[in-house]
């Protein structure tokens, strides 16, 4: 875990949520984290820390907050399992990442209307390999736009360098990050 990134995130979220200049101290314990280009473990630990601090304030019992980063990351990885039925599948059978002519694209088909939109563009497919064969013949940007235009959800994947040159990456370079 990047301790500086976590501390900055803690300070930013505290200020955004509480309007306070200085956030209370938080101790991050067992700082094992998930490998990611994004601050996944830092966000998990900080979110749990914020909830813990809010509970402490709500109960009127100020207490130091410490968060086990490894456990926080695990909680972000899982959800609760229903007792009276099997859990629903997390992902639609066709959702996921596929190679296309010029890189990779992520197709989101979990919502029925998103899967229907994908099918309007790429046809109905019984399995991932059948769908992958069709996706492989598309340019990523063109497929992303076609699926979105059909009412679906798709994202052509970019390297960090490509993202910096993309319109959203350029806008982000000059814009302030969202504050909560």
- pTM score above 0.85: no
Tell me 86's DSSP state: P
Q: Which stretch of 52-56, 74-78, 135-139, 145-149 has the lowest confidence by average pLDDT? A: 74-78
CB-facing half-sphere around the CA of 141: CA atoms within 13 A: 4
Neighbours of 97 (CB within 10 A): 13
**What pLDDT, in 10s, does the model give residues 127-178?**
999 999 999 999 999 999 999 999 999 999 988 888 888 888 888 888 766 5
Helices (H), 33-139: 40-59, 69-77, 112-122, 128-135
Q: How confident is the model at residue 5 (pLDDT cuts 50, 70, 90)?
A: confident
C-alpha–C-alpha distance, residues 116 and 126, integer Å: 13
Give Cβ neighbours of residue 94 (< 8 Å, ≥ 6 apart).
107, 109, 115, 118, 125, 128, 131
Q: pLDDT at residue 180 above 50?
A: no
The percent of residues in the chain predicted with pLDDT above 90, rounded, is 37
Domain extents in the chain: 3-77, 96-165
Question: Where does the pLDDT of residue 21 fall: very low under 50, low under 70, confident under 90, or very high at 90 and above?
Answer: confident
Average pLDDT, the chain: 87
Distance of CA 94 to the CA centre of its chain: 19
């Amino acid at each position: 875990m990047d301790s500086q990134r976590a501390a900055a995130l803690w300070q930013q979220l505290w200020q955004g949520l509480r309007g306070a200049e200085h956030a209370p101290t938080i101790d991050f314990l067992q700082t094992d984290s998930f490998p990611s280009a994004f601050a996944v473990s830092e966000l998990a630990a900080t979110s749990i820390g914020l909830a813990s601090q809010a509970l402490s304030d709500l109960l009127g019992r100020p207490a130091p907050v410490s968060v086990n980063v490894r456990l926080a990351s695990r909680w972000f990885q899982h959800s609760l399992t229903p007792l009276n039925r099997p859990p629903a599948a997390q992902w639609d059978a066709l959702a996921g990442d596929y190679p296309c002519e010029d890189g990779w694209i992520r197709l989101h088909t979990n919502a029925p209307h998103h899967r229907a939109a994908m099918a309007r563009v790429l046809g109905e497919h019984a399995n991932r390999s059948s769908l992958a064969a069709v996706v492989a013949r598309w340019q990523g940007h063109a497929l992303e736009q076609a699926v979105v235009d059909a009412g679906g959800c798709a994202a052509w994947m970019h390297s960090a360098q490509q993202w910096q040159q993309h319109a959203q990456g350029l806008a982000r370079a000059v814009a302030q990050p969202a504050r909560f």
